[in-house]
Amino acid sequence: MKILVINGPNMQLLGRRKAEFYGTKTLPEIEADLRAAADSLGVTVDFFQSNHEGAICDRIAGAIADGVDGIVINPAAYTHTSIAIHDALEAAAIPAVEVHMSNIQARDDFRRTSLTAPACIAQIAGLGADGYEFALRALVRRLSAASAQTR
């Protein structure tokens, strides 16, 4: 099973920005934790981060050809603005879980609406870096169950 983890704009700055919302772990540290979790689950994980909406859409579209089974995505600020990322997720039809390190419902009004979540099977928010591992585990469980049903 192959899982793609996508991070949107400014996520490369984790560990240096707004620790009260995002904690102190860096993106490479989160990726290392996810790699270890993926190993324990017997799945492979690839990572992609971009500050550019089109690049994220291109990577989602490329996931089809790459044989990606599931996506964990933190669209970051594009969560609230990107119909394009929503449409890419919808068109790819690859099960995706949206992750947010902060509780977007407890923040600014404009952060409370996710345009991308309706194209995902679930959303996890407010659990910091742990949310990524919870999303990975839930996604693998869901994909494994679906695979078992089709056998």
> Would you call 86 a catalytic residue per the annotation?
no
Radius of gyration of the chain (CA): 14
> How many other CB atoms are found less than 10 A from the CB of residue 129?
20
Nearest Cα residue to 101 out of 2, 4, 1, 13: 13
Task: Please check whether residue 29 is in contact with residue 132, taking contact to mean a CB–CB distance below 8 angstroms.
Answer: no
- How long, in residues, is the chain? 151
Can you read off the two tokens belonging to residue 48? 């992609």
| Active-site choice (52, 78, 80, 100) | 100
Residue 22: active-site member: yes
Cβ contact 78:53 at 8 Å? yes
Given 22, 78, 86, 132, which residue is catalytic? Answer: 22
CA distance 126 to 101: 5
The residues that are catalytic are 22, 100
